[in-house]
Amino acid sequence: MRKRIRTTTRIAATTLAAIGIAAGTGAVGVGTASADGLPGGPYCNGPAKILAESNWSRVAICPVQGPTGWAYKGVAKTTGDSIALWGATWDENGYHAYNNGYTYHVHPDRLLITAPNGAVIANEPWISYQRR
């Protein structure tokens, strides 16, 4: 009888989880961290520090383990291409992430992306900016 109760419990738990997912309740199991982010991404594995959106990009600054404690995660709204860069830094101007000579600057008013030679690749004012 004990085995039967355990099986029934597993089936019930699986069914409830499936119903919750299908209903879009966002139920999270015990011990599972909830993701934080923008619809369509990017997402952090926990609470985001910054969530921002321009007409062309969505950006999240996420706390992570590592020497700087921050990660830059971005999604291009036009293509869906994404990038995740660990080791982002912070100063009084905002957050900065580096990738093969390109720099992603997340200022409170805009996303500024520069090329290795310093040329501005993108200068995108935010339509939404949340600092938490």
Tell me the pLDDT tens digit for each residue of 21-43.
334 433 433 444 568 999 999 99
Looking at 28-32, 42-46, 82-86, which range is the least confident one? Answer: 28-32
CA distances from 96 to 7, 8, 55, 68 (A): 51, 51, 20, 11
Average pLDDT of the residues in 91-106: 97
Total residue length of the chain? 132
Residue 88 has pLDDT above 80, yes or no: yes
Residue 96, classified by CB atoms within 10 Å of its CB into exposed (0-12), middle (13-18) or buried (19+), is buried
CA-based end-to-end distance of the chain: 51
Query: Residue 26 has what pLDDT?
Result: 39
**Residue 71 · residue 62 · CB < 8 Å:** yes
Query: Residue 102 has what pLDDT?
Result: 98
Average pLDDT of the residues in 94-100: 97
Domain boundaries, the chain: 1-32, 36-131
- Higher-confidence position of 30 and 105: 105
